[in-house]
Amino acid sequence: MSTATLSQYLKQQQGNLTPELASVIETIIESCKTIDQALQKGAIAGILGSAEHENVQGETQKKLDVISNQILIDALQVHPHVGGLASEELDTFTSAQENGQYLVLFDPLDGSSNIDINMCVGTIFSILPAKNAVTQAEDFMQAGVDQVAAGYVMYGPSTMLALSVGVGTVFFTYDVDSQEFVLTKQDISISPTTQEFAINASNQRHWEQPVKRYINELLEGKTGVRGKDFNMRWVACMVGDVHRILCRSGIFMYPYDLKDPKKAGRLRLMYEANPMSMLVEQAGGVATTGRVRILDIQPTELHQRVPVILGSKDEVELVTSYH
């Protein structure tokens, strides 16, 4: 097993990324270490529970949502190579350094409903090239294919980092003794076939017919058209569900539904769907809305939502074909 730290790995990738980009990634991960420490203290530090106000999405924020968001903003806004940043928790973008080469977008604490029950949560990030010396809102409107790096930190039994700089997806594990992220898995590959799926089944009555057909076929198991049994898993944290797929394949779905026809989907394109799609595609998987490749979508607004179907190639392509 390699013992390369994150810093050493980034130096080894100098042909694939600039030193400036490496510095931005390291600053994000240093912030995640601070978030991890706050999570470890939990109730002892009085940081569990609701912050008693809503974010721009109309969702009730947890205290740790607010804390995590501020930790990342404080670190990135002063970074010399960050021109601007945007968070799922904030209404608009935040300006950073003039002539900063990169834009950073993040979901500071994905799955925050899991905090108070001590289950998996994570931080998701996406890095785009800056377009202008002074960042403007339209500079963030770049398709996912333009991402120069993406990843997440999962705060679980082990704190882990999944990262892609465009040359595959790799895992790091946080060593509490050295306080370093150590490379623990390279060449991550998602099998094209699987017998696991993840979906919030409570929304079944609102799904479109193609998704109902696909899930019904999975549930029929050996006696149905698929001829094999499937298991369902659902962590209620996208980081946890995608991490499982990167570890042992599977399909994750948060499809379009008719519950609120005004919303194209549940998940945010630029804070969740794009970075996760990059990680999955770099590991040989596929990511679509059910109709189009997610990484090809041209954003029109900062908090745009999209349906998400990603994971094992054969399964994603099958359910996409039903649309």
Known binding-site residue numbers for substrate = 110-113, 200
Question: Residue 249, by phi and psi: left (phi above 0), alpha (psi -120 to 50) or beta?
Answer: left
One-letter amino acid of 193: T
The sign of the CA dihedral 240, 242, 243, 248 is: positive
Q: CB of 150 within 8 A of CB of 279?
A: yes
* Residue of 89, 157, 176 lying closest to 118 (CA atoms): 157
Q: What is the CA radius of gyration of the chain?
A: 19
Q: CB of 100 within 8 A of CB of 83?
A: yes
- Binding positions for Mg(2+) are 88, 107, 109-110, 272
Length of the chain equals: 323
Angle at 111 between CA 109 and CA 117, to 5 degrees: 110
List alpha helices for the chain, DSSP H. Answer: 6-12, 19-41, 63-77, 209-220, 238-248, 274-282, 313-322
Structure tokens at 85: 């940043």
CA dist 105 and 216 (Å) reads 36
CA dist 182 and 148 (Å) reads 21
CA dist 207 and 32 (Å) reads 35
CB-hemisphere CA count at 13 Å for 50? Answer: 6
* Residue of 283, 291, 292 lying closest to 313 (CA atoms): 283
